[in-house]
């Protein structure tokens, strides 16, 4: 008698297929790979933005949003770059590039994607804010993208589930609790694989792979920072009370960073402000 495959077996078989990978366009890959360089070429970045009308529109929209707006509207990428500054421009570009992968036509998958996107953006904002707050100058340019991409293994797994359903490898999706359990168990390993496939720097791949490990490199300050911010964002999403801020303040990550309970509370305010300005809730 033929043994029936488990949902994990089917999922792993699906993920061996190329079409399970979240896709970045050639232009998006070029942009991303330029942005993560130690010394990005901003003339090249501006040129690549102009090749993508939707990205151009998004950058101008963000530059003119209430969060960034000055006295006058900007109408060109050059003006947007001056308004936003180079680091903020890069953050917005990476955010726009990856938002495209959170637009499933399947309502069931889209619900998970929305929660994941909100968490990823919150972690990105929190990581960027914390790097500036702690005056970690070398980490400021890398912090937003590190926070944004740390959970991309979850998107990889959601894409695989969607392909399984579309390809009729499964009749119905598993229960939410089982999907959440599988994603929690596998997403870090798969995040490392996905970011490696995108040829991102080893430091970002390592964060995706190690952000939940009990044993981790405590000298990797960017990894420690993302782990700390991830805890804060999880706490906010679960609606936990003030005592949980005290718990995070006593964590190994907070101790290594030297961030106090007051600092963590200020981080929450910064994240909430961003969420409110961009209607993320």
| Contact criterion met (CB below 8 Å) for 110 and 104 | yes
Q: What is the dihedral of CA 5, 8, 10, 13, to 10 degrees?
A: -120
Asked if the structure places residue 1 within a domain, the reply is no
Encode pLDDT of 237-273 as tens digits: 988 666 688 999 999 999 999 999 999 999 999 999 9
The candidate with the shortest Cα–Cα distance to 267, out of 144, 122, 136, 141, is 122
121 & 138 share domain = yes
Question: pLDDT higher for 18 or 102?
Answer: 102
Q: Are residues 116 and 156 in the same domain?
A: yes
Domain closes at, from 83, 102, 121: 102
Alpha-carbon distances of 269 from 73, 224, 273, rounded to whole Å: 27, 20, 6
Examine the pLDDT at 1 and tell me if it is beyond 50. Answer: no
Same domain, 192 and 229: yes
- My answer on whether 95 and 127 are in the same domain is no
* In the predicted structure, residue 189 carries a pLDDT above the cut 90: yes
pTM: 0.88
Alpha-carbon distance of 275 to 252, in angstroms, equals 27
Q: Are residues 231 and 94 in the same domain?
A: no
Average pLDDT over residues 212-218: 96
**Given a cut of 60, is residue 2 above it in pLDDT?**
no
Q: Provide the pLDDT confidence category of residue 182 given band limits of 50, 70 and 90.
A: very high
Q: How far apart are CA 183 and CA 123, in angstroms?
A: 18
Same domain, 126 and 92: no
Q: Are residues 130 and 66 in the same domain?
A: no
- Tell me how far apart the alpha carbons of residues 162 and 248 are, in angstroms, rounded to a whole number: 35
115 and 228 share one domain: yes
Q: Which two tokens stand for residue 213?
A: 């490990």
The confidence score (pLDDT) of residue 130 equals: 98
Q: In the prediction, which pLDDT does 281 show?
A: 60
Q: Are residues 93 and 128 in the same domain?
A: no
Tell me which of 23 and 208 has the higher pLDDT: 208
**Which domain range does residue 43 map to?**
25-102
Using alpha carbons, list the distances in angstroms from residue 187 to 20, 150, 196, 203: 14, 10, 14, 17
Cα angle for residues 91, 262, 139 (degrees, 5° grid): 30
State what percent of residues in the chain have pLDDT above 70: 96
Q: What is the rounded average pLDDT of the residues 6-29?
A: 85
User: Residue 105 gets which letter from DSSP?
Assistant: S
Average pLDDT over the chain reads 91
Q: Which of 73, 102, 131 is the last residue of a domain?
A: 102
The predicted model gives 220-227 an average pLDDT of 98
79 within some domain: yes
* Residues 50 and 181 occupy one common structural domain: no
Number of domains, the chain: 2
Say if residue 145's pLDDT is above 60.
yes
């Amino acid at each position: 008698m033929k043994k029936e495959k488990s949902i994990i077996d089917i999922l792993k078989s699906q993920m061996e297929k190329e079409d399970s990978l979240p896709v970045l366009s050639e232009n998006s890959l070029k942009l991303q790979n330029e942005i993560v360089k130690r010394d990005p070429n901003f003339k090249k970045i501006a040129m690549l933005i102009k090749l993508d009308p939707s990205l151009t529109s998004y950058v101008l929209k963000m530059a003119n949003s209430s969060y960034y707006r000055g006295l006058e509207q900007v109408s060109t990428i050059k003006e947007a770059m001056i308004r936003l500054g180079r680091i903020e421009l890069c953050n917005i570009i990476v955010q726009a590039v990856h938002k495209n992968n959170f637009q499933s036509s399947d309502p069931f998958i889209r619900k998970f994607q929305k929660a994941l996107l909100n968490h990823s953006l919150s972690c990105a904002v929190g990581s960027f804010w914390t790097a500036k707050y702690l005056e970690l100058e070398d980490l400021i340019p890398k912090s937003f993208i590190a926070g944004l991409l740390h959970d991309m293994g979850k998107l990889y797994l959601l894409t695989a589930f969607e392909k399984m359903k579309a390809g009729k490898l499964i009749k119905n999706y598993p229960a939410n609790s089982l999907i959440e359990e599988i994603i929690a168990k596998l997403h870090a390993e798969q995040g490392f694989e996905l970011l490696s496939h995108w040829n991102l720097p080893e430091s970002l791949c390592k964060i995706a792979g190690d952000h939940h490990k009990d044993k981790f490199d405590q000298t990797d300050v960017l990894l420690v920072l993302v782990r700390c911010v991830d805890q804060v964002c999880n706490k906010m999403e679960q609606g936990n009370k003030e005592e949980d801020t005290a718990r995070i303040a006593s964590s190994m990550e907070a101790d290594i960073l030297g961030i106090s309970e007051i600092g963590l509370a200020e981080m929450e305010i910064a994240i909430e402000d961003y969420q409110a300005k961009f209607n993320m809730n």
